[in-house]
Amino acid sequence: MAYDHKSIEKKWQDYWVGDKVFKADSSSNKEKFYALDMFPYPSGAGLHVGHPEGMTATDIVSRMKRMQGYEVLHPMGWDAFGLPAEQYALDTGNDPAVFTQQNIDNFRRQIQALGFSYDWDREVNTTDPNYYKWTQWIFTKLYEEGLAYVDEVAVNWCPALGTVLANEEVVDGVSERGGHPVVRKPMKQWMLKITAYADRLLEDLEDLDWPESIKDMQRNWIGKSEGADVHFEVDGHDETFTVFTTRPDTLFGATYAVLAPEHPFVERIVSAEQKEAVQAYINEVTKKSDLERTDLAKEKSGVFSGAYAINPVNGERIQIWVADYVLMSYGSGAIMAVPAHDERDYEFAKTFDLPIRAVVEGGNVEEEAYTGDGKHINSDFLNGLDKEEGIQKAIEWLEAEGKGEKKTSYRLRDWLFSRQRYWGEPIPVIHWEDGSVTAEKVENLPLELPKTENIKPSGTGESPLANIEDWVNVVDPETGMKGRRETNTMPQWAGSCWYFLRYIDPDNSEQLADPEKLKEWLPVDMYIGGAEHAVLHLLYARFWHKFLYDIGVVPTKEPFQRLFNQGMILGENNEKMSKSKGNVVNPDDIVETHGADTLRLYEMFMGPLEASVAWSTNGLDGARRFLDRVHRLFATDNGSLSDKVKYDSQNTDLERSYHETVKKVTENFEALRFNTAISQMMVFINDAYKASEIPGQYAEGFVKLLSPVAPHLAEELWSILGHEDTISYEVWPIHDEAKLIDDEVEIVLQVMGKVRSKVSAPKDASKEELEKLAMEDETIQEWIQGKTVRKVIAVPGKLVNIVAN
RNA sequence: GCGGGUGUGGCGGAAUUGGCAGACGCGCUAGACUUAGGAUCUAGUGUCUCUCGACGUGGGGGUUCAAGUCCCUCCACCCGCACCA
């Protein structure tokens, strides 16, 4: 019988899972290798063909590393908290835990049907109390270290639904569900002080083996910029405000100042005459959505506050304006405006007819702002200096005069860590009636989510947990003091910040993970996932990891040494797969019709791992055809070994092709270039079909090379080749470099850089010998006839180029 | 606007330090075997001429004996950020 994927795949999957073939042993003395997938959110829709792409890539590497003698940790788990389960609960009254468990079971079934070599004994689930116990524990540590704090932050409050909405639940200013109005409302929120790690998150990127584009995205997100804080006094008030500037050297060109509309200072300094205008402006601005406010195309808007600031360098009175082009969230929410040398200030000054004074030479201030370098003018003690010197000197002056100081600002802001949701890790904090706040003691963790049939909005903006009286209200057993539990839960990011640590020691009830085991496995050697997590997940996880490093829990500064982002698999119409477009391909269907091995092979052969390529049914058929060809080459219809395979063969037809294949496949797997590795395997199979016989050791070697990509078929062929054990721990083939070198090589003969002839020559023929061969070649002689040979370039082993005209 | 990236046959894509452009797969064409083929096998397949040959890696220019690869310039598309002071 021909290649029957259904029976073969079932057989080997049952064996792998049943016999725990891929169990990882932390105590072995093999070198450790940790291959990690970004774990999925188990959605109700199940797996789509995009999921297995990255998973196949890590699986191939894992399987190869095992065969190369490494102890491989390759785990899978579930990022299972999240909004959809909560929505489902709200809609149906069902328990999100039950719903989530069903989805997980479905995901696991689908993933196992693809034959990945996960160690299923290490499966983790972020919604499991034994898991989130440690998520909560990390939070309490952050709290103890002062890195978790409460702040007032505006949230999307929907009065009609009585709940707070996530940004993605708000569409065009109304709730996505029901279309109710949404307003910004300040609420007390837990924040994590990621900004305290900004510099280290930036610097430590250097040593990581990550795509440069991802590093850059993180750098931009952190957005470090150096400059100075400058303090301005307000004329007629006993007040000062601070601006942040990267160009303190242009202080003499500051002709007005601007406060963000939300700046608390605005109401303190606004003049009586301007009060009404300012209030009207602020009202207008707060009505605008974030999108409208940041729309670059729009005209600058603003209003004069009626107050004046004193420029600290020259005592000049300058107007203070309120304008929304200054953001409260960056720097100090206030700027000194230097219209001559800043494009935004220039545009604003032109709009409102404010003075513009050049203080740096170069450019034409009549026409546009000049942001380049040049000698300073109109700047007293800075005159004649260039930009760099000017900045230096200005900061020295400010610090000496007590009018300002050197300052570094970051675009990165602290992490808003609260969610007003039921389906998340409860934040383990109690607010006591005397006003004190304490974190739950470790022995009281996990603080479990209470079971309830009544998940509904609290109506106050608190999470549904606020409805559950006997959970929310607590009494201190020792002092009798009453308290109320925090009702906010953690965001989905929390569980995914450290799951890779738990895989290392998933059942530990005493600690997050055994330090000795962490030392064995960390850092993750290979981490593959989608580029959509390039910034947030990876930054948050790095932050937590550095924190855990600081408190001595983990042994490495960085969690993920090597990172790779796989591309997307698009629908056959070249658009992103989505239910609404009807172009989603379900892996279950492919496994049924073509088999898991075909799906794996096809996804790896489509193109480079990082590229986004459209699904093609024809391409899939081609992948299947290759596996059919492989099967037919090695096995007969009744499942015995093909006569063509001969263990005692002395035939050397395939020698070179085989060794080249071993070399290329090994190198390409290592470099994650699976498409080229597979094409080389195809070349070998084509050669093998042409050969009169296939030496047994080449057949075995090839099956090993194929096994990471098409493990079920490889196991089957391995047993047909007469082996009892799994192929998973067989020794990976090594190529013999000597077999790749031919004694005779083909030399390309060129005239004027164009190939005119070819000739065979000994591989180590000298330049002179090659030149002689070229000149003797008949075709070449015809080409150079009647021409003068100006020059002959001979590259040993490669070519001869004759310059003649 | 800033940062990063990509442009190669009808399609997906290959091409060490500059050294035979188009590996491999899909598709297509012809043939073989077949009652049949959406199976399999064989041959062919960048374009123009189809004979020599010429042209050809987004466009233009340059360096070089030799450029997909290096330099300059322009264009298109994709991703991220976006009034970040």
**DSSP calls for A311-329:** -TTT--EEEEEEETTS-TT
Q: Which residue has the higher pLDDT, A83 or A593?
A: A593
pLDDT at A163: 77
> Given this model, what pLDDT does residue A1 score?
52
Nucleotides of B under 7 A from a protein CB: 3-5, 12-15, 19-21, 23-27, 39-42, 54, 65-67, 79-85
Give residue-wise pLDDT tens across range A522-581: 999 999 998 888 888 999 999 999 999 999 999 999 999 999 999 989 888 888 888 877
**Which protein residue has its CA closest to C1' of B41?**
A689
Which nucleotide is closest, CA of A212 to its C1'?
B4
How many angstroms separate the CA atoms of A585 and A568, rounded? 13
The Å distance, CA of A516 to C1' of B36, is 67
Nearest nucleotide, CA A746 to C1':
B20
Cβ–Cβ contacts within 10 Å for residue A386, how many?
15
Amino acid A795 CA to nucleotide B49 C1' distance, rounded Å: 34
Range 277-316, chain A: CB under 7 Å to any strand B atom = 293-296, 298, 300-301
Distance CA A447, CA A576 (A): 40
Distance A753 CA to B63 C1' (A): 16
Structure tokens belonging to residue A447:
């603080």
Q: What mean pLDDT, rounded, does chain A reach? A: 90
Q: Which of residues 183-222 of A touch strand B (CB under 7 A)?
A: 212-213, 216-217, 220-221
Task: Look up the protein residue whose alpha carbon has the minimum distance to the C1' of B6.
Answer: A611
Residue A428, pLDDT score: 96
Distance A311 CA to B64 C1' (A): 60
Q: How far is the CA of A368 from the C1' of B1 (A)?
A: 15
SS3 (DSSP) at A360: strand
By C1' distance from the Cα of A605, the closest nucleotide is B25
Condensed to tens digits (0 to 9), the pLDDT of residues A762-785 reads 878 888 888 888 888 888 888 888
Q: Is the pLDDT of residue A796 over 90?
A: no
Q: Which residues contact A467 (CB under 8 A, 6 or more apart)?
A: A452, A454, A456, A458
State mean pLDDT over A115-119.
Answer: 97
Percent of chain A with pLDDT over 90: 62
- Gap between the Cα atoms of A435 and A685, Å rounded: 75
What are A137-159's pLDDT values in tens digits? 999 999 999 999 999 887 888 87
Beta strand A71-73 pairing with A32-37: parallel
In Å, how far are A1, A550, A592, A703 from A7, measured between CA atoms? 11, 52, 11, 19
Report how far residue A723's alpha carbon sits from residue A731's, in angstroms, rounded to the nearest whole number: 13
Q: What's the CA A613/C1' B62 distance, rounded, in angstroms?
A: 35
Beta bridge partners of A114: none
Q: What is the pLDDT of residues A234-273, one digit of tens each?
A: 988 888 999 999 999 999 999 999 999 888 888 888 999 9
In this predicted structure, the answer to whether residue A686 has a pLDDT above a threshold of 80 is yes
Number of H helices and E strands in chain A, helices first, is 26, 31
User: Dihedrals φ, ψ of A228, to 5°?
Assistant: -145, 150
ipTM comes to 0.94
DSSP-H helix ranges across A442-530: 469-472, 493-496, 499-502, 515-521
Give the residue carrying structure tokens 């962490």: A518
For residue A550, give every residue at least 6 positions away whose Cβ sits within 8 Å of its Cβ, in sequence order, or none. Answer: none
Quick one: how far is CA A63 from the chain centroid?
Answer: 24
Asked if residues A9 and A597 have their Cβ atoms less than 8 Å apart, the reply is: yes
Q: What is the mean pLDDT of residues A485-500?
A: 94
First to last CA, chain A: 65
Q: How confident is the model at residue A741 (pLDDT cuts 50, 70, 90)?
A: confident
Q: What is the mean pLDDT of residues A11-29?
A: 96
Distance (Å) from CA A754 to C1' B54? 12
- Within residues 756-795 of protein chain A, the ones with CB less than 7 A from nucleic strand B are 758, 791, 793, 795
The answer to whether A579 is annotated as binding is: yes
| A748 in contact with nucleic chain B (CB within 7 A) | yes
Work out the angle at residue A626's Cα, subtended by the Cα atoms of residues A625 and A629, and round it to the nearest 5 degrees: 90
- Supply the pLDDT for residue A156: 80
How many other C-beta atoms can be found within 10 angstroms of the C-beta atom of residue A380? 12
